[in-house]
Amino acid sequence: MCQNLCIHSHSPSRGKLPPKPSRPPSRAAEGAPDYQDLLHKSVAARETAYAPNSNFKVGAALLARDGTVYTGSNKELTINADHAEQSAIHKALIDGQQPQDLVAIAIFGVRGEVADASFESRTPACGNCRQALYDLNPEIVLVGSQGKDQVQVSKLADELPGAYHRQRLLPSPPRATGHADPLIAGALEARSHSYVPRSGFPVGAAVETDKGVFLGAQTEVSSYASQAARMALGAALEAGSTHILRLAIIGGTQESKMERPKDLPFDSFEALYELAPEARVVLPNQQGLLEEYSAQQFPRFNEGQGKRV
Quickly count: other Cβ atoms within 10 Å of residue 214's Cβ: 28
Of 75-83, 159-167, 240-248, 261-269: span binding Zn ion (CB under 5 A):
75-83
Please report which helix (H) or strand (E) contains residue 93, including its range: helix 84-94
Closest CB 77 distance from Zn ion, rounded Å? 15
How far is it, in rounded angstroms, from Cα 43 to Cα 109? 8
Closest CB 160 distance from Zn ion, rounded Å? 13
Q: Which of 30, 47, 76, 85 is catalytic?
A: 85
81 or 275, CB closer to Zn ion?
81
Question: Is the distance from CB of 241 to CB of 264 less than 8 angstroms?
Answer: no
133 or 295, CB closer to Zn ion?
133
Of 83-91, 101-109, 114-122, 139-147: span binding Zn ion (CB under 5 A):
83-91
Q: Which of 83, 91, 179, 280 binds Zn ion (CB under 5 A)?
A: 83
Closest CB 83 distance from Zn ion, rounded Å? 4
How far is it, in rounded angstroms, from Cα 188 to Cα 167? 27
- Which residues lie below 8 Å from residue 197, measured CB to CB, with a gap of 6+? 166, 168, 169, 170, 171, 220
303 carries an active-site annotation: no
Question: Is the distance from CB of 59 to CB of 73 less than 8 angstroms?
Answer: yes
Q: Which residue is nearest to Zn ion (CB)?
A: 129
Provide the greatest CA pair distance for the chain: 59
117 or 126, CB closer to Zn ion?
126
Q: Lay out the site mask for Zn ion across 115-154 (x = CB under 5 A, - = otherwise).
A: -----------x--x-------------------------
Q: Using alpha carbons only, how large is the chain's radius of gyration in Å?
A: 19
Torsion over CA of 216, 202, 219 and 9, rounded to 10 degrees? Answer: -10
Closest CB 123 distance from Zn ion, rounded Å? 10
Pairing assessment for the beta strands 280-284 and 212-217 based on DSSP bridges: unpaired
129 or 183, CB closer to Zn ion?
129
Closest CB 133 distance from Zn ion, rounded Å? 9
Closest CB 14 distance from Zn ion, rounded Å? 38
DSSP string across 137-180: -TTPEEEEESSTT-EEEEEHHHHSTT--------PPPPPP---S
| Residue closest to 90 by CA, chosen among 239, 164, 190 | 190
84 or 248, CB closer to Zn ion?
84
Quickly count: other Cβ atoms within 10 Å of residue 102's Cβ: 23
- Verify binding: residue 176, Zn ion, rule CB under 5 A: no
Of 65-73, 77-85, 89-97, 133-141: span binding Zn ion (CB under 5 A):
77-85
126 or 309, CB closer to Zn ion?
126
Q: Which residues contact Zn ion (rule: CB under 5 A)?
A: 83, 126, 129
Catalytic site positions: 85
